[in-house]
Amino acid sequence: MRTGTFLGFVAPSVLSMLLLIAVPLVGVVYLALYQSHVKTEMVEVRTKVPLFGGLSRDQVSYVPQAVLDEDGRPIRVWDYVGMQNLAKASEIDELGRILTKPRDEASLPDMIDSMYRDITNLDFWSAFEFTMIYVVATTPLMLAVGFLLALAVNRATEQLKGSLIFVSLLPMIVTPVVSSLAVYWLFLDNAIVATVLRELGLGRIYFLKDAVTIRILIIAYGVWYAAPFAFIILYAGLQTVPKESLEAARVDGATRWQAIRLVTIPHLMPLFAVVVLIHLMDAYRVFEPILVFNSRVFASSLQYLVYIAMSFEDNIHRAAAYAVLTVIGIVILLTPVLISTWREQRSTP
C-alpha cells in the first residue's frame, strides 16, 4: 500500500486521536514540568461560623489569602521546575537514601526485608509494587481462564453456545463502578460469602483484614473481570482454526493436547498477543477495586495515586507527574510486545 493511500485511510482516526488524546498528552507533559499556585499571603482572618441552634462561633486564624491584581482577580504564579515534579512524585531521593542507608540486620535476607519494607512505605513505590503484582498475577491467570473457557464453550452444544457466551460476558459488560461494589458487598463482615463459609465450618473469615487476603481478593476480582475479554477474542479466533489442520494432526496420531499445542495455539498467537497487550495496559491502570475495596493500607496502585492527587489534593501538577510516570512505565512494560509487532510489521510480505 502506498503511503499516500495509507494516510488517506487513517486520517479521520488519527485526527480524532491527535486532537483529543495527543494534544492533552502534550498538555500533561507541560503541566508535569511546571508548578503553579494562586499567590497567597498569610492574613489574620476572623471567621464567623454558625454551629447549631442559633449559636455561632468566631475564630481567628492565619489563613492564606489570595493576592489580587488591580482587577480583583487572583494572581496565579507559574514556575518552570523541570524534572522536579517527576523526581518528587517518584520519590527518587528517598529511594536513594533507603538503598544507601547502613543497615545493622544480622542476615542478608533480613536486610533485604527491612529495605523492602522501607521502600514500600513510600507512596509511589508501594503503589508500583502492588500494580506490578497485580499485572504479573492477573495476566497468566486471565489468559488461562479465558482460553479454557473458549475451548469449553467451543465444545458445548450449539443451542447452549449463545447463552454460555452471554453469561460469560457478564463480568465484563457491567460497568466496574457497579461490579466492583457488587463483589465488595459479597465479602464484607457478615455478607453472603463469609456467612456461607462460616456455615460450612470454616470459621469466621475476614477478607479485608490484611495484605494477603485483600490482595488475593483484588487479584481474583481482576481475573474475573478480565477473563471474559480473553474468552471472547480467543473464542472468535478458535472459529478460524482450519479444521483440516486439526484433523490432519489427529490422524497423524497427535493427542488432543498436542493438537491444541501444535495447531491451535500457534494459530491464535497473534490474538494472544493482542489480549495480553490490552490486558497489560488495563491491569497497569487498575483502579476501581483499589478504591471500592477501601484497600489503600494494603494495596495501592499508580492510577489511584493520580486520582488522589487530582481529585482530593487538587494538585494537577502532581497528578500530571504521576500520569507521565504511568505512561513511561507502560512503554517499558510493553517493549517486548512492541518489538514483536515491529518484527511482524517488517516481515509481512
Q: Which residues of 54-68 are buried (b: 16+ CB within 10 A; e: fewer)?
A: eeeeeeeeeeeeeee
Quote the cell numbers at residue 110.
Answer: 533480613
Q: How far apart are CA 12 and CA 116, in angstroms?
A: 48
**Of 95-103, 108-116, 132-140, 155-163: span binding another protein (CB under 8 A):** 155-163
**AA identity, residue 31:** L
Binding to another protein (CB under 8 A): which residues in 310-329?
Answer: 310-320, 323, 326-327
**Of 97-105, 107-115, 133-141, 338-346: span binding another protein (CB under 8 A):** 338-346
| β pairing state of 76-80 and 56-66 | unpaired
> At CA 143, angle to CA 137 and CA 144, rounded to 5?
95
Minimum CB–partner distance for residue 165 and another protein (Å): 6
**Of 102-110, 132-140, 187-195: span binding another protein (CB under 8 A):** 187-195
Q: How far apart are CA 250 and CA 65, in angstroms?
A: 80
Long-range contact pairs involving 160-165 (C-beta distance under 8 Å, separation at least 24): 165/232, 165/235
Q: Which of 214, 215, 222, 240 is nearest to 179 (CA)?
A: 222
Binding to another protein (CB under 8 A): which residues in 97-126?
Answer: 121, 123
**Of 101-109, 130-138, 232-240: span binding another protein (CB under 8 A):** 232-240
**Residue 341, Cβ neighbours under 10 Å: how many?**
15
Minimum CB–partner distance for residue 172 and another protein (Å): 7
3-state helix, strand, coil in the chain (%, to 5): 70, 10, 20
Minimum CB–partner distance for residue 2 and another protein (Å): 8
Size of the site for another protein (CB under 8 A): 154
Binding to another protein (CB under 8 A): which residues in 253-292?
Answer: 256, 267, 270-271, 274, 277-278, 281, 284-285
SS3 118: helix
Quote the cell numbers at residue 243.
Answer: 479444521
Cα dihedral value 134, 137, 139, 145, nearest 10: -120
Nearer to another protein, 143 or 153 (CB): 153
Nearer to another protein, 9 or 140 (CB): 9
Nearer to another protein, 138 or 303 (CB): 303
- How many alpha carbons fall within 13 Å on the CB side of residue 125? 17
Does 293 participate in binding another protein (rule CB under 8 A)? yes
Binding marks (x or -) toward another protein, 46..85, rule CB under 8 A?
xxxxxxxxxxxx-x-xxxxxx-x---xxx--x--------
Does 240 participate in binding another protein (rule CB under 8 A)? yes
Minimum CB–partner distance for residue 67 and another protein (Å): 8
Does 24 participate in binding another protein (rule CB under 8 A)? yes
Of the residues 192, 202, 216, 265, which one makes contact with another protein according to CB under 8 A: 192
Does 14 participate in binding another protein (rule CB under 8 A)? yes
Q: Which residues contact 47 (CB under 8 A, 6 or more apart)?
A: 58, 59, 60, 61, 63
Of the residues 125, 134, 147, 224, which one makes contact with another protein according to CB under 8 A: 224
Minimum CB–partner distance for residue 11 and another protein (Å): 8
Of the residues 17, 87, 248, 265, which one makes contact with another protein according to CB under 8 A: 17
Minimum CB–partner distance for residue 82 and another protein (Å): 15
